[in-house]
Amino acid sequence: MSDATLWQRLLPQALGAAVSPLLLLGQLAQLIGSDTLRLQLRRSAAYLLGASLVVVIWSWIGGWIANRLPQNQGGPDPVAAVVQLMLGLALACMSLRILVRNENGSLAVEATDTAEAKPASLGLERALLSGTSLMAVNLTSLVLFLPASQDIGRSGLPWPVRLSAWLVLDLLTLLPVWFPPLLLLLSGTAGHRLLRSLGSWVQLHRRSIDGAVAAGFAALLLARGLADL
């Protein structure tokens, strides 16, 4: 696999893994409230650490599996085809489940959502556990992360190229976690207002975003899986 082919396959999946309303709302809960900016950023850093630990574990598992599979030699790739078809079907089922819940008008949210809606009482330990748990249950990101990690591990490219690809994959997957505190640091009060507006909009449209992402990337993975046969 060439460098260009790897990045062409990697970037769409990494960007899809970054679209996580639940993870974003969890981080916004650390940054919005009546506490001082310093305390908010400390909680945000703990949340980021928790989410990062999960992504590091995902990276290790993805690399461990990929190193035990044959390298991609170009042309038909049954290994990649099977992985992408299975994960594409999983995403399609997730999308269907989300859409059915929307059509039924369900207003129920996960217990983690309810917990994240009360930022004032969050401590550093709870923020750390929130980041870990919300990333761990973020199945849409995981389903897109796995085939991307397989592409990197089986590419046969030099280690510096693969390490840079892993870094980009991890950073993009964690985008909804590290970008809000960076925005707050750079923009101050204006950043607070923007984050509040963003949080309200994402909360209102969260299930629609989840469903659209799952459906769109299910189609992508299924198409790639069929092309790799």
> Once rounded to an integer, what is the mean pLDDT over residues 20-36?
86
- Residue 131: pLDDT band (50, 70, 90) is very high
SS3 category, 69: coil
Domains of the chain, by residue range, sit at 3-228
The pLDDT value recorded for residue 135 is: 94
DSSP H or E segment with residue 103: helix 78-103
The two tokens of residue 151 are 């592409």
Closest among 139, 146, 115 to 47, alpha carbons compared? 115
The pLDDT value recorded for residue 73 is: 67
pLDDT exceeds 50 at position 43: yes
Q: How many CB atoms lie within 10 A of CB 56?
A: 11
The answer to whether the beta carbons of residues 162 and 62 sit under 8 Å apart is no
Taking the mean position of all CA atoms in its chain, how far away is CA 113?
A: 16
The pLDDT value recorded for residue 114 is: 36
The pLDDT value recorded for residue 129 is: 93
CA dist., res. 95 & res. 222, Å (int): 14
CA dist., res. 185 & res. 142, Å (int): 29
Within 8 A by CB and 6+ apart from 21, the residues are 202, 203, 205, 206, 209, 210
- Residue 102: pLDDT band (50, 70, 90) is low
The pLDDT value recorded for residue 74 is: 65
- Mean pLDDT in the chain? 83
The pLDDT value recorded for residue 120 is: 41
> Once rounded to an integer, what is the mean pLDDT over residues 146-153?
88
